[in-house]
Amino acid sequence: MKKVIIIGGGAAGMQTALRLAERGIEALILEKEAEAGGKLRGWHALFPTFTPAEEVLTELRRRIEEKKIEIRTRSEVRSLTPKSVTLADGQRLDCDAVVLASGFTLFDAAIKEEYGYGLYDNVFTSADIERMLNEGRVARADGSAPRRIALLHCVGSRDEKVCQQHCSRVCCITGVKQAMELKQRFPEADIFNFYMDIRMFGPGYEEMYREAQQKCNVHFVRGRISEAAPTLDGRIQIKAEDTLTGRPLRMSVDMLILLVGMRANDDSAALAESAGLQRSPSGFMAPRDHFLHNVESNVEGIFYAGTVTAPKNIGETLNEAIAAADAAADYLNE
Amino acid sequence: MASINFGYTISKPRAIDVDRNNLRRSDEILHEMPELQTCIGCGSCTAVCTAGNLTEFNFRRVHTLVRRGEYQGAYEEMNKCMLCGKCRLVCPRGINTRGVVMLIKHKLGDL
Amino acid sequence: MKRNSWKEYQKQIADDRYYYARSCIRQNFFPGSEKAFIDILQNDLGRDLLDDPKHSSCTGIGYHSDIVPLETIMTVVARQFALMTEAGYENFVASCITSFGVYSEILATWEEFPETEERTRENLLKATGREFRKPASLAHTSDVMFHFREEIARKAKHKLVNALTGEPLHVVEHIGCHYAKIFPKSGIGGSEFPYVLAGMIESWGGQCVDYPERRHCCGFGFRNYLVQANRGYSIANSHKKLESMAPYKPDFIVANCPGCAMFLDKWQYAIAEMEGTTYGENGHGIPVLTYEEMAGLVLGYDPWVLGMQMHQVDVEPLLDKMGIDYDPAAKYLGRNGKYIGKPASAVVNGCPPDTLYDMRE
Amino acid sequence: MKFYAPFCLPFIIGATTMFAIVLGKWLVWLLRLPRADKMLILRGLPSRATFGAIGEVFCESLLHRRIFRVNPVLGYMHMSLAFGWFLLISVGWIETVAHLGFRYVPLQGHVFFKYFATSLEHKPFFDFAMDLLLLFVLSGVALAWGKRLRSKALGMRRTTKHVLGDRIALSALWFIFPARLLAESATCALYGGGGFLTGTLGEWMHDRIGMLALMNLESAAWWFYSSCLGLFFVALPFSRYMHIFTEIPLIFLRRYRLRSGEKATSYDRFQLEACSRCGICIDPCQLQSVLGVDNVQSVYFLRDRRYKMLRPEIADNCLMCGRCATKCPVGIDLNTLRLNSRDRLRNLPDKRRYAYLKETDRSQGSGKVGYFAGCMTLLTPRILQAMEQVFTAAGEQVWWADRDGGVCCGRPLKLSGETDAARKMMRYNTELFRKHGITTLVTSCPICLKVFREDYALEGIEVLHHSEYILRLLRTGRLRLSHGDTRYTYHDPCELGRGSGIYDQPRAVIEAMGQLLEPAETRENALCCGSSVANTAISDGQQAAIARSVAAELEATGAETIVTACPLCKKAIARGATKEVHDLAEIVAAHIRR
């Protein structure tokens, strides 16, 4: 029986494995974390439907168990070839093809020092908010409820200064989603989204955006926050230009939420090196082409699924996983 | 040759009339500093601007107007800039903003 | 440019028996035009039209200047309808675009909010003891003229063509904002490109000029003109239109709105005196006609009978172009040959400014 | 005996022309000097400075000691040419005196003595000495040839691209000494004599070449030699070789404490023409080494300015990091010249400018110590917070000058050349400091520091960089730090190190907290982070490229943390680094012992 190693146990990895199983091919998932699930773990609800991430994850896990697919956790990959994968501990696993589904890394907001993440209380990232939502307790550092919240788009995206020129696509809609979730929790709070461009590319996204504006009275300010500073009463004073009025804008908020972007994994360079894979300027893996071979790498027998090639949402990721699995299966059945 | 004063004058149109504006200087500026074209108008420059916090000076607005061929007063506006460089430090497009200020002043100085 | 949009906007225009409501501005600035309308309908077309001395201003100017409240103007309008009803007419035609707009607006209001109609009936009854029936058809006089355009074309003595070259004249048509911008359905051809004047021009041999600012307002805008502090803005609008149409070398402008005709004409004078700019041929202004004057010329009326000596911009160059013979000496002779006085020479008529004076002194 | 032959003509003409022009230049420059500078000279002349200058002239103009320090081979080349030639002349002089006693001998008599002295009996010592010196010079010439062909051979990655005038003079110079060798040997071949070089070569020729041919050859050779000299002398004042004669007065004037300023003066001419275009300034320039920009370096800047063809894009494209200035063998004040060129190009006094700088005091708190964060520091809140912790720990009452946004210190504008406008900001801030009655002014920004110290009139207010201030707190025991085993490496900010001579204080502070590892190029030779406000020409990508190269060198030390003492450097290096980059203050704040 042919065997495929899938690097990465997130949504993409699991879906790929399931599809391969359907195609009668043995799949082994390698997950570097202690538990499979990838970024879906610790995410609260998925846009645009507010479907609990847990729901999707549990179902995927259930199917994996049902299909008795092996997941090896705590196994980080050092290098790979189409026929073998070497783990960090030097152990070498042989296979007939590899699907790279190692996903992305969240941008470290602390790098944008001027926003004061990890420096002032009450500056959070979108990931923190998802965590808090899961814990069922969203609050300021002192436990009080926020009366005014600002969400800043494009943190670590479209920013030459941190060498992340690409657009992470999903932050816009995440900002809208979180604004609505927060509004629901704190109906009294005023919520402001600071954006450069609003990119609502997915089905139902634009509608959600409208709803946030119309139903939830979320304010959208076209301007990028440039500085954040603490105030005496422990709030955050932010500075931006309200570009639509052409005037500098200052306001104090109880919470500043940074919508952190997706960036390529730190080890992607090393992996690409080991297998001779091509990467795009953004650091993500580059598919053979963007149309007819967009789940195949430039190396025969190595395939891509999910955000390892570019920022994507969960839906796109799951679809791509199937495509990748089929491509791998066809390759093996040749 | 206004011969009669009726007690009012013809208000000038507010529209940016790109047909009428002479874009030569604007083209020269963009030719020497193509990166200026990459501005996405996020306003970071204006938000951090040291001069902009003390005056009405709005770097983004002025250079955008200049790109449209609206040179009137641009030189005087740019003269408010202190060239401190904060804007260059925050520009997500990595535009050489200080260079832009000096270039615009150089090109429009003789207006 | 071919425009078919107007076909989608057609309205019923009564063929006969009109109740005629005059326009305040035109009675003062183009008295000949309203006279011409009556003559053309009664004599040339043999239609029945009542010019009722009892009717009043619709108070539209006051209404749009926030002086006359809605209830008042409703009552005034109701009174006009009452007079129509009493005279046994049901086809209401207004000579003024603003009035037309007001009538349409109020009828629509009554349609939407019947209670307002009820209140108006009560008010009218209290104030004048009159009652009214709503008109069967409401039209602007230019609609009527449009309705008979082919008939007029058949009777035409002149055409809108250059008598020397045989080329069709280039005509700028200007529609008053209140004609169809309030209710697109109320105008022929809708609000964007009304066909009411264009139709006349085309059937009388002229050619419509389509220029960028064709749809732009003349700038009257009531408060904008009436308050001197805003007048610079008012004139700027006409200025914009003239700047935009000038390159098309129009032979004349025709308007169906009292204010528009007046301002496109008078502002040319003001601009010329202020800036020295003129927009017509060899340093003259562009003649501005009312559609009645246009029709009158086509039907061979005497320009001075049509009252064209009242224009700020001299019309002679146009008359010559159309090959209309007229008596220059008779220009400033009013009825029964009485001299009515002559305006000072103006830049807009090709005369260098000889006087330097300040209106405010 | 008479000391004239037709072939001397080129030499005589050349020599007189040269001396006339050179003296003319000196005179004009001196007369155009500002009054104050003239006074300095008058006061300096009778002082010890003069002797110092004479000594320096010997060491530098002849021995080229500084070049030796940078690059021995190059040093030898220059020295052999300069000093060797000098000796040839002086020993030649002695030789004539030895032969003819003290009597007037025209210049050409000395120079072409071998030719005229055939009738005199030989003095083997001089023959030997002169040949030895000639060999010495020729070795230099050989090296020069070699340098042209393969600059790497002389340890220079790049060598100067020259203008036409230079090339003429250069080629002439190259042929002078071979020509001399040939001419003297020919004479020896005919009349005997000569030392191990000319003599031997002479005999060799005598044996192989016929009498008639030899005679023609001799006169031809002398003509050639004289022409080379003439050509070189005529070209000299218009070529780089003007430095030979300009460096001498420059050394004196410098000793008399004349300096270039933000406004160009006649003194700049001495510096401009004292540049020998040795090209030593090219290698240290990061614009060259990292970005491959090779037409903006000081040597080209000085050249363009000297020949009045300086373009703004050249003048502006300089980080003003000062790496070249530290290497310049002539000690030319390159940054200041660059600055007053920009002033020439851009400064236009405008009374109305910055009228808004009134009633804009947004300062907070009060105290004898004032803290001026500086524009850049406002974008690095970690530094601000760290400083606050330091102040609190030291129990310092602080007046925060610009925490809520202040007025720029004015240096960036000054560096761009708008010096007069910059003064307005300087005046504004000075008044602000005075108004709040501070006695100490601490800043985290080396750019501000430099301008405060050099251009602000802050008598009675001590200006400190936070590294100095913190060290003082440590020394006086007002601040106590815990020592860990972290290994740090330190990046010298240009304005702080080369700019203000502050190298040891930050290092001392770091060593109080952990181990300090020096990068390959450090202190005076430290690299520039590339984001210098002085450069308005390079793009963001180019800045990032420089930053990466700097970060790489710092990380090569194996340190866990990169430390610097400038917000701009910090931001810049962080872009290229994989390791943590912190400002000194942040590290200190993290190690405060309570």
Q: Which residue of D has its CA nearest to A113?
A: D380
Q: Considering only CB atoms, which chain B residues are within 8 Å of A161?
A: 89-92, 94
Q: Which of A117, A108, A125, A126 is nearest to A45 (CA)?
A: A126
Q: Which of residues 186-245 of A touch B (CB under 8 A)?
A: 196-197, 222-227, 239-243
First to last CA, chain C: 49
Q: Are residues D267 and D407 both part of a single domain?
A: no
pLDDT digits over D497-545, tens only? Answer: 999 999 999 999 999 999 999 999 999 999 999 999 999 999 999 999 9
User: What pLDDT, on a 0 to 100 scale, did the predictor assign at position A231?
Assistant: 87
Among chain D residues, CA nearest to B80: D354
Are B43 and A241 a contacting pair at CB < 8 A?
yes
Tell whether the torsion through CA atoms of A52, A55, A56 and A57 is positive or negative.
positive
Where does D363-415 show beta strands of DSSP type E?
Answer: 369-372, 398-400
DSSP letters spanning B10-58:
PPPP-S--TTTS--HHHHHHHHH-GGGGG-----HHHHH-TTTTTSS--
B12 lies in a domain?
Answer: no
pLDDT score, position C3: 55
* Fold of the domain built from segment(s) C152-337: Rossmann fold (3.40.50)
Q: Does B94 touch chain A (CB under 8 A)?
A: yes
Q: How many C-beta atoms lie closer than 10 Å to residue A70's C-beta?
A: 11
Pair (D459, D493) in one structural domain: no
Contact of D353 with chain B, judged by CB distance below 8 Å, is answered with yes
Sequence-ordered list of residues with C-beta below 8 angstroms from that of A274, at least 6 positions apart, any chain = A78, A79, A80, A81, A86
Check if the beta carbon of residue A96 is closer than 8 Å to that of residue A26: no
At residue C212 the predicted structure's pLDDT band, cuts being 50, 70 and 90, is confident
Give contacts of D405 with chain B, Cβ < 8 Å: 50, 53-54
d(C-alpha D95, C-alpha D109), whole Å: 11
Structural domains in chain B (count): 1
Q: Supply A248's token pair.
A: 């500098």
Q: How far apart are CA D436 and CA A95, in angstroms?
A: 75
Instruction: Determine contact, residues D425/B82, Cβ cutoff 8 Å.
Output: yes
Q: What is the pLDDT of residue C352?
A: 67
Q: Which residues of B touch A247 (CB under 8 A)?
A: 58
Tell me the three state secondary structure of residue D559: coil
Mean pLDDT of C155-170: 95
The angle subtended at Cα A230 by Cα A224 and Cα A232, nearest 5°, is 140
Rounded Cα distance, C213 and C238, in Å = 10
Instruction: Give the pairing of strands C18-21 and C91-94.
Output: parallel
- CA-to-CA separations, C249 to A70, B91, C288, in angstroms, rounded: 84, 51, 14
Q: Is D23 among the domain residues?
A: yes
Q: What is the pLDDT of residues C284-299, one digit of tens each?
A: 999 999 999 999 999 9
Contact criterion met (CB < 8 Å) for B5 and C359: yes
pLDDT tens readout for residues A23-59: 999 999 999 999 999 999 999 999 999 999 999 999 9
Beta carbons within 10 angstroms of residue D334's beta carbon: 27
Q: Which of C232, C275, C347 sits opposite B8 (nearest CB)?
A: C232
**Pair (D33, D158) in one structural domain:** yes
**DSSP result, D81-127:** HHHHHHHHHHHHHHHHHHHH-S----HHHHHTHHHHGGGSPP-HHHH
Q: Provide the pLDDT for residue B109.
A: 82
CB D175 within 8 Å of CB D224: yes
- The CATH number of the domain holding residue B77 is 1.10.1060.10
pLDDT at B10 over 50: yes
Q: How far apart are CA D263 and CA D273, in angstroms?
A: 18
Please indicate, yes or no, if residue B96 is contained in any of the structural domains.
yes
Considering the domain boundaries, does residue B1 fall inside one? no
* Residue B6 lies inside a defined structural domain of this protein: no
Residues C235-258: b if buried by 16+ CB within 10 A, e if exposed: bbbbbbbbbebbeeebbbbbbbbb
Q: pLDDT tier at C185 (50, 70, 90 boundaries)?
A: confident
- The pLDDT of residue C356: 46
**DSSP letters for D566-592:** -HHHHHHHHHH-SSEEEEHHHHHHHHB
By the 8 A CB rule, do D330 and D243 touch?
Answer: yes
Q: Does C212 touch chain B (CB under 8 A)?
A: no
User: Does D435 share its domain with D514?
Assistant: no
Closest among D442, D446, D441 to D458, alpha carbons compared: D441
Q: What is the DSSP letter of D156?
A: -
**Residue D230 and residue D99 share a domain:** yes
pLDDT for residue B43 is more than 90? yes
- How far is residue A118's CA from residue B10's CA, in Å, rounded to a whole number? 58
The residue segments making up the domain with residue D390 are 369-472
Contact assessment for residue C252 and residue C94, using Cβ atoms and an 8 Å cutoff: no
User: Which residues of A touch chain D, with CB atoms under 8 Å apart?
Assistant: 111, 113-114, 116, 119-120, 160-163, 227-229
D222 inside domain: yes
The domains of chain A, with CATH numbers, are 3-104+264-333 (3.50.50.60), 109-261 (3.50.50.60)
Sheet holding A255-260, edge to edge: A123-125, A255-260, A148-155, A190-195, A219-222
Tell me the residue ranges of DSSP E strands in A8-110. 26-30, 45-46, 51-52, 70-72, 77-81, 84-87, 92-94, 97-100, 105-106
Pairing of strands A105-106, A262-263: antiparallel
In a domain, D242, yes or no: no
Q: Taking CB atoms and an 8 Å limit, are B4 and C236 in contact across chains?
A: no
- Position D506 scores a pLDDT of 97
Q: Residue C360: pLDDT band by 50, 70, 90 thresholds?
A: very low
Say yes or no for a CB contact (<8 Å) between B61 and A196: no
H-only helix segments in C68-222: 70-87, 97-112, 114-128, 141-147, 149-155, 177-180, 196-203
Does the residue D364 lie in any domain? no
Number of independent structural domains in chain D = 4
Can you say whether the dihedral through the CA atoms of D186, D192, D194, D198 is positive or negative? Answer: positive
Does the pLDDT of residue B1 top 70, yes or no? no
Using the predicted structure, report yes or no on whether residue C1 has a pLDDT greater than 50: no
Which strand (E) or helix (H) includes residue D59? none
Please confirm whether the linkage preceding D34 is cis (ω < 30° from 0).
no
Nearest to C170 by CA among C322, C353, C358: C322
End-to-end Cα spacing for chain A? 14
Query: Does the residue B68 lie in any domain?
Result: yes
Residue A161 identity: K
**Are residues D295 and D187 located together in one domain of the fold?**
no
pLDDT digits (tens, 9 = 90+) for A74-107: 999 999 999 999 999 999 999 999 999 999 999 9
- D121 Cβ under 8 Å from any chain A Cβ: no
Residue contacts between A and B (CB atoms, under 8 Å): 67
**Same domain membership, residue D332 and residue D463:** no
How far is A251 from chain D, CA to nearest CA, in Å?
A: 14
Q: What is the DSSP string of C31-79?
A: HHHHHHHHHIIIIIS---EEE-TT-----HHHHHTT-S-HHHHHHHHHH
Residues of B in contact with C269 (CB under 8 A): none
Contact B90 A114 (CB under 8 A): yes
Amino acid in position A226: S
* Backbone CA torsion sign across D135, D137, D140, D142: negative
A27 close to A69: Cβ distance less than 8 angstroms: yes
Which element (helix H / strand E) includes A8?
Answer: none
- Give B46-101 pLDDT, tens digit per residue: 999 999 888 899 999 999 999 999 999 999 999 999 999 999 999 999 999 999 99
Q: Both D85 and D228 in a single domain? A: yes
CB contact under 8 A, B4 and C357: yes
* Residue ranges for chain D with pLDDT beneath 50: none
Does residue A274 contact residue A81 with C-beta atoms inside 8 Å? Answer: yes
Q: What is the C-alpha separation between D420 and D426, in angstroms, rounded?
A: 10
Domain boundaries, chain C: 13-141, 152-337
**DSSP string for residues in D168-210:** HHHHHHHHHHHHHHHHHHHHHHHH----TTHHHHHHHHHHHS-
Among residues A20, A19, A53, A18, the alpha carbon closest in space to that of A37 is found at: A53
Report the CATH number at residue D542.
3.40.50.1860
The answer on pLDDT for B2 being more than 70 is no
How would CATH label the architecture of C13-141? Up-down Bundle (1.20)
Measured between alpha carbons, how far is A81 from A98 in angstroms, rounded to an integer?
8
ipTM of the complex: 0.81
Task: Kindly list the distances between the CA atom of residue A251 and the CA atoms of A218, B53, D121, D224, D378, in Å, as whole numbers in the listed order.
Answer: 16, 14, 100, 83, 17
Cβ neighbours for D23, distance < 8 A, ≥ 6 positions apart = none
Are residues D468 and D436 part of one domain?
yes
Q: Is residue D3 part of a domain?
A: no
How far, in Å, CA of D391 to CA of D444, rounded?
Answer: 13
Token pair of A14 as six digits: 């699991």
Q: Suggest the residue from A105, A108, A114, A265 to mutate for an interface test with chain D (most D CBs closer than 10 A).
A: A114
* D509 and D447 both lie in a single domain: no
pLDDT digits (tens, 9 = 90+) for A117-175: 998 999 999 999 999 999 999 999 999 999 999 999 999 999 999 999 999 999 999 99
Q: Is it the case that chain D and chain B have 3 or more CB pairs lying under 8 Å apart? A: yes
Mark yes or no for CB contact B13/C240 under 8 Å.
Answer: yes
